[in-house]
Structure 1
Amino acid sequence: MDKMTKAIELMQNHKLEEAAKLFTEAIDENPKDPIGYINFGNLLVHLNEFERAERFFNRAIELDDEAGTAYYGLGNVYYEQESYTKAQKQYLMAIEKGLDEADVHFMMGMTFIHQEYVKLALPYLLRAVELNPEDVDIQFQYGLCLAQNGQIEAAEQTMNRVLQLEDQHSDAYYNLGVVALHKEDAESALAYFNKALGINKEHMLASHAKAQVEQALGED
């Protein structure tokens, strides 16, 4: 196993200091290889060392301006600092350079979500779902975005898909409750809110919604 592969494995196992040492050695041995700078940049993002990470990704781009993962890493630097417009530019560059992976489309969608441009987010989240249909977080955010765009039936289907992937997803049950209320089905909504609270008794949104539905049913 070469140093780069070993360092990535260490990083995945949260042995970050050991990984950093090996990445540094790998870069010293191959200073013209952009992959070393990209991997070290990813590690620095994990450590919230954003200024250093930015320098490493920019160095990778200097060495290979077609390296899509370098632009993606740079996008993550800006995303983590809530500079969503700057992050978007980098994610778009990554996509233009051929990085057609679920994560980059998902992160692009999330930059729009944070800026409340839900219509612009939708196609990116859809592409992320197409590329990785087994990812719970991607499915859930896609479902939320569908609901925010008024596509209630599709949102309901997606939340049920989330529950197929993770049957203890309290937020999915809560959102199915909201969908049921939208359909004026208070009994089903109450059942969903109870499901959410059965998984997470601290779910404040479900607790509040349950109380309101119970009050409305009591008044009837």
Structure 2
Amino acid sequence: AIKYNNQNSEIYTNLAVVCQQLQQFECVTDNYGKAIELDPNNWQGHYGLGTFYDEQEKDDLAEKQYQLSIKTSSQAILPINNLSRLKIIKGDYNAAIALARQGLQKAKEPELRAVLYKNLGWALFEQKEYSQAKKYLEKAKELDIHRTSTHCLLAQVQEALGDVDYAWISWEICLLTESREPEVFGWRSQVLERIRLKDPIRQREE
């Protein structure tokens, strides 16, 4: 396609996505860069480059690209969601909540609304607003029951509220369902370490 039209930014964006899946990193940055150079208003290019940096745990670079993507298109909800998640990881919970709410005002698809509710619940959990966090995490679960991170977070919120039996059910789902989210691996490690040390949830509530 590039041979026939080397001025189409979408072609370079698509090539960068393929390179990202193949983990050909120089190819990723080169082609996203070319796509953005040809069309500075290409929000997908900034978003894609942001996800690449996100996967490499280069949070500052990812955040910059997500911000550029949001600035380029008011309808770019995916980078709003990803930036909200990064803000939580960095401990900027108020910014994360504001971004999640901004995304929810625009998002229509159930799965996208679910992940925004998940981020909202996550940020509130970190702020120890457990009842509010539970409300939004349950909304996220209703909209997308397959997202593992929602169950992991709900387990922690239920535990904090003393809902021990429900917490164990949520932990079981958290441990057994598939996920590629790095925070999920962290939460799994924490609960498995507690089990290994024979430190059950019930004991923590005493």
- Report TM bin, short chain: 0.7 to 0.9
- C-alpha distance 172-37 of structure 1, shift in aligned 2 (>3 A): closer
1:214 to 180, 202, 205: 202
CA gap of 1:198–1:95, structure 2 versus 1, over 3 A, is closer
**CA distance 1:70–1:147, shift in 2 (3 Å):** same
CA distance in 1, matches of 2:204, 2:32: 55
Distance apart, 1:61 and its partner CA:
1.9
The offset of 1:35, in angstroms, is: 1.0
User: Displacement, 1:206?
Assistant: 5.6
- Structure 1 pair 141–133 and aligned structure 2 pair: CA distance change class (3 A): farther
| Aligned counterpart in structure 1 of residue 168 of structure 2, from 189, 194, 219 | 194
> Any conservation in 1 of the 2:9–2:35 contact (CA below 8 Å)?
yes
Whole-Å Cα distance in 2 between the matches of residues 98 and 118 of structure 1?
24
Q: Does 1:148 align with 2:126?
A: yes
| Runs (5+) with no aligned partner, structure 1 | 1-25
Q: Provide the TM-score with structure 1 as the length reference.
A: 0.70
CA shift, 1:106, in A, is: 1.1
Gaps in structure 2 of 5+ consecutive residues: 177-187
TM-score, with length taken from structure 2: 0.75
- The answer as to whether partners of 1:33 and 1:63 remain within 8 angstroms in 2 is yes
For 1:141, the aligned partner's letter is: N
Residue of structure 1 equivalent to 2:93: 118
1:56 maps to 31
Q: Which has the higher contact order (CA 8 A, sep 6+)?
A: 2
Which amino acid in the other structure matches residue 170 of structure 2?
A: A
Q: How does 1:177-192 map to 2 (within 5 A)?
A: 177-183=155-161, 186=162, 189-192=163-166
Over residues 58-96 of structure 1, what are the superposed CA-to-partner deviations in whole Å (9 max), with x where a residue is unaligned?
111221222222221222222222111111111111111
Report the alpha carbon displacement of residue 198 of structure 1 after superposing the two structures with TM.
Answer: 5.0
Percent identical: 21
Distance in 2 (alpha carbons) for counterparts of 1:169 and 1:74? 24
Separation in 1, partners of 2:155, 2:16:
42
Structure 1 residues 55, 198: closer, same or farther in 2, change over 3 A? closer
On the 8 A contact 2:49/2:62 being kept in 1, the answer is yes
Is 1:78–1:87's contact at 8 Å kept on the other side of the alignment?
Answer: yes
Q: Distance in 2 between matches of 1:124 and 1:61?
A: 24
Letter aligned with residue 99 of structure 2: Y
Which structure has the larger Rg over C-alpha atoms? 1
Instruction: Report how far residue 134 of structure 1 moved.
Output: 1.6
**Structure 1 residues 37 and 192, CA, compared in 2 at 3 Å: closer, same or farther?**
same
Deviations 1:105-158 (A, max 9, x none): 111122223323333222223333441562244432331112113332321111
